[in-house]
Structure 1
Amino acid sequence: MALEITPIGEVVEGRTEVADDYWGGVESVIQLDESEFPLDSVQGLEEFSHLVVVWHFNLASPSDVEYHARSPRGNAQWLATGTFAHRNHRRPNQLAQSFPRLLGVDGLRLRVTDLDAVVGTKIYDLSPYFEEMGLRGAVREPAWPGEMLADYWAGKA
């Protein structure tokens, strides 16, 4: 069974170029669909510090999807890992999830920072981040994500 979903909004301000690193401090605006949602659909959202945003790698092509194990970012120093051990556009549905800080709500325009999606990106869902629904227990991961993402949230020089 296939799931059909439609975008609820789009990134309309922020970074325009796709890049692997230096997303820190990037401010963006998510514009929710004004023809679909009333203003009160975001009522109370401004009380939250962070959002959970589901978006689509719209600049990627379905031909980019890869199911085999590969080294992250093509770096042979990191062991090859399977499709579901990566967080990139080569995943089957080319969906991503980000946890930006909410800076402000102006009607159906949400101003955020640390959303690693570019202008034109379609937003498929968003919700407030509830700490109680977040991580439980200690986080375990191999060394390569920390090495690979050392500059991910650094500011652009």
Structure 2
Amino acid sequence: MHNDSPICMRAIGLVETDVADADIARRRRTMVSDIVLFDDYVAGLKGITEYSHIIVIFWMHRAVPSAELIVHPRGDTSLPPSGVFAARGRGHPNPIGLAVTELIKLEGPRLTVRRLDAYNATPIIDIKPYDRYDIYTAIRMPKWFDEHRRPSSKRPPGSGS
């Protein structure tokens, strides 16, 4: 495989949310959304309600892929430049989003989740259970991470992104 070889994926469903686009970043920690799977994939949800949280992988269809490999984290020029792979955000070579969400309920093809920071009609690529193998408590982050929190953030220092 060459680095310019295409990778093909299929959406398995779409996000449904009534949260306005402008409010998603501010409300991402509390917002509730639905993921509606396409009929062909509903059987794959068997057993999902045994998990309290799921990992949602989505295609950020509105993001513009970037060729920039050095960026300012969070788009904040007061922060030191870093490699794009050391920064969260939309400016990656591939517009793939990932969110650990709380699974609130499942009704047919519809999963209701909390903390999915995706726009209405965002394509869902995959869903995976979140389990204890995904939990790390002794993590290292750059010093600026806690010092330059987003203004909308109410989380305590060291509690994650």
1:22–1:153: 8 Å Cα contact kept in structure 2? no
In 1, Cα distance between equivalents of 2:128 and 2:145:
26
1:69–1:80: 8 Å Cα contact kept in structure 2? yes
In 2, Cα distance between equivalents of 1:14 and 1:111:
13
Letter in 1 for 2:73: P
**Distance apart, 1:149 and its partner CA:** 4.1
Letter in 1 for 2:31: V
Letter in 1 for 2:88: R
In 2, Cα distance between equivalents of 1:153 and 1:102:
22
Identity between Structure 1 and Structure 2 (%) = 27
Structure 1 residues 153 and 120: CA distance shift in structure 2, 3 A: farther
Corresponding residue number in structure 1 for 2:72: 71
Residue ranges of structure 2 left out of the alignment (5+ in a row): 156-161
Q: CA RMSD in A?
A: 2.1
What are the Cα deviations for residues 52-109 of structure 1, in whole angstroms up to 9, with x where unaligned?
11111111123xx142322223323211111111111110111011001000000110
In 2, Cα distance between equivalents of 1:152 and 1:109:
29
Deviates more, 1:6-15 or 1:102-111: 6-15
Letter in 1 for 2:82: T
Structure 1 residues 111 and 137: CA distance shift in structure 2, 3 A: closer
1:8–1:33: 8 Å Cα contact kept in structure 2? yes
In 2, Cα distance between equivalents of 1:145 and 1:57:
24
Query: SS where residue 58 of structure 2 aligns?
Result: strand
2:15–2:120: 8 Å Cα contact kept in structure 1? yes
Residue ranges of structure 1 left out of the alignment (5+ in a row): none
Choose from 60, 73, 77 the match for 2:63. 60
Query: SS where residue 40 of structure 1 aligns?
Result: helix
* Equivalenced residues, count: 149
TM-score between both structures, scaled by the size of structure 2: 0.82
1:12 paired with 2:16, answer yes
Choose from 27, 33, 54 the match for 2:32. 27
**Distance apart, 1:125 and its partner CA:** 0.5
In 2, Cα distance between equivalents of 1:121 and 1:134:
24
Corresponding residue number in structure 1 for 2:96: 95
In 1, Cα distance between equivalents of 2:108 and 2:153:
30
Deviates more, 1:70-79 or 1:47-56: 70-79
Query: SS where residue 27 of structure 2 aligns?
Result: coil
